[in-house]
Every structure is written in structure tokens, then in C-alpha cells.
């Protein structure tokens, strides 16, 4: 791990994008290594998977802590693990302006739409309702503006006749798993 960028991945659920990042990191020529997988949900399935892979994990529920105390604990865990870049992978909490500033230009996120379209939630249903021909995903730098940072890469996924939010989400997720590791590798070597 010495010659690779140390990445901390934040998750809230099953962690499928985290798994894609971990799998890619195992290639000899990958420029990053996963130093920590952290979650706001101690019961997250992705954490159990990360532990089964021998990865360092950190879990803390924010309930009863307040955002500043919770984020201070996450920040401390990332720094203790020597993390240099943070990858959000299905992390369903908004980061405070303070945490974003502390990691300025070192946090990336995968978002299930072709930004700047459909920031926030329910992206697939919104794309279908709008009559879009394509949906997709974007990897972007995290800023204080929700889903508003510089877009690093995108992948388009056709919206098929009869698609609903779930069927489109399934195909977009497959595109995310291909796009995120490649983009993260480019990001850490820029």
C-alpha cells in the first residue's frame, strides 16, 4: 500500500460500489488502495463484506451525537487510517460545509444521474417522468453544493420502453461499477 494513494470509502448500505472499488484496487497497476471502509450504519451489509475481506472498518451511528460530533469522529477515523482521498459510495448523509472544507478537492462521489440533471434523490423516476432517452451516472468532486462539484466522468444508460425506476436503477448500477473504479484511479493520479 506504500506506493498507492490511501482511499477511505464511506457507505450506508450494501456497498456494491465500494466492492467494485475494492476489487479494482487489487490489480497490481491500480494507483489506490482501500485504507478504510466507514459507515453511519453499524449494521450495513457492506461493512460485513469489507470485514470479511480483511479491510479496516469503522462504524458509528449518528443517532444522539449531533452532526458536529459525528463528523469529528468520522474525520478522526479517516485521518488515523492515513486516508488521502475519500470516496462516497452510497453514503446517504449530507456532509457539512466544514467537513467538505477539511477535505477540499479530496472527496469524490458517484451519483445516479447525468449531472447537472437530477441532483438529489429519485433520479431514475425523474428521468423516466421527463421522457429522457437516457439516464446514467456521474462521478464528481464533492463541494458544499449538493451534487454540484466538477463532473469527472459520466456513463449513459438508455431508458428502454417499459422501464421503471427499479429496472433503470439496476442497469445504471452496473454502469456505476465500471465507471467509479476507473475514474477514482484517474483522480488519485491527477
Point out which residues pair with 38 in neighbouring strands.
10, 58
Q: Is residue 1 scored above 90 in pLDDT?
A: no
- Ligand-binding annotation for 15, yes or no, is yes
Cβ atoms 113, 146 nearer than 8 A: no
pLDDT tens digits for range 165-176: 999 999 999 999
**Is there a binding annotation on residue 93?**
yes
For 8-60, how does the pLDDT look when each residue is reduced to its tens digit (9 = 90+)? 999 999 999 999 999 999 999 999 999 999 999 999 999 999 999 999 999 99
Residue appearing with cell numbers 456497498: 15
Closest CA to 16 of 50, 40, 58: 50
179 pLDDT higher than 80: yes
Residues with catalytic roles: 111
94 among annotated binding-site residues: yes
Q: How many CA atoms lie less than 13 Å away from 91 in the CB half-sphere? A: 27
Sorted by where each starts, the structural domains of the chain and their CATH numbers stand as 5-188 (3.40.50.170)
Residue (of 105, 114, 120, 115) closest to 168 by Cα position: 114
Residue 63 has pLDDT above 70, yes or no: yes
Strands 151-158 and 85-88: unpaired
Cα(170)–Cα(152) distance, integer angstroms: 22
CB 158 within 8 A of CB 127: no
* 156-161: average pLDDT: 98
The whole-number average pLDDT for the span 152-164 is 97
Tell me what pLDDT residue 173 has: 98
Q: Is the pLDDT of residue 112 over 70?
A: yes
Q: For residue 121, what is its C-alpha cell?
A: 434523490
3-state SS, residue 10: strand
Amino acid at each position: 500500500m506504500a506506493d498507492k494513494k490511501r482511499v477511505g470509502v464511506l457507505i450506508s448500505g450494501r456497498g456494491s460500489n465500494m466492492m467494485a472499488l475494492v476489487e479494482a484496487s487489487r490489480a497490481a497497476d491500480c494507483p489506490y488502495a482501500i485504507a478504510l471502509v466507514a459507515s453511519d450504519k453499524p449494521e450495513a451489509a457492506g461493512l460485513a463484506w469489507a470485514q470479511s475481506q480483511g479491510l479496516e472498518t469503522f462504524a458509528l451511528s449518528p443517532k444522539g451525537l449531533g452532526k458536529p460530533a459525528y463528523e469529528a469522529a468520522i474525520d478522526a477515523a479517516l485521518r488515523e487510517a492515513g486516508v488521502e482521498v475519500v470516496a462516497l459510495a452510497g453514503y446517504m448523509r449530507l456532509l457539512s460545509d466544514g467537513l467538505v472544507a477539511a477535505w477540499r478537492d479530496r472527496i469524490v462521489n458517484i451519483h445516479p444521474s447525468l449531472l447537472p440533471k437530477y441532483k438529489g434523490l429519485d433520479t431514475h423516476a425523474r428521468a423516466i417522468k421527463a421522457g429522457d432517452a437516457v439516464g446514467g451516472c456521474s462521478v464528481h468532486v464533492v463541494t458544499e453544493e449538493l451534487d454540484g462539484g466538477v463532473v469527472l466522468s459520466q456513463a449513459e444508460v438508455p431508458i428502454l420502453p417499459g422501464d421503471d425506476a427499479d429496472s433503470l436503477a439496476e442497469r445504471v448500477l452496473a454502469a456505476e461499477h465500471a465507471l467509479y473504479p476507473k475514474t477514482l484511479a484517474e483522480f488519485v493520479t491527477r
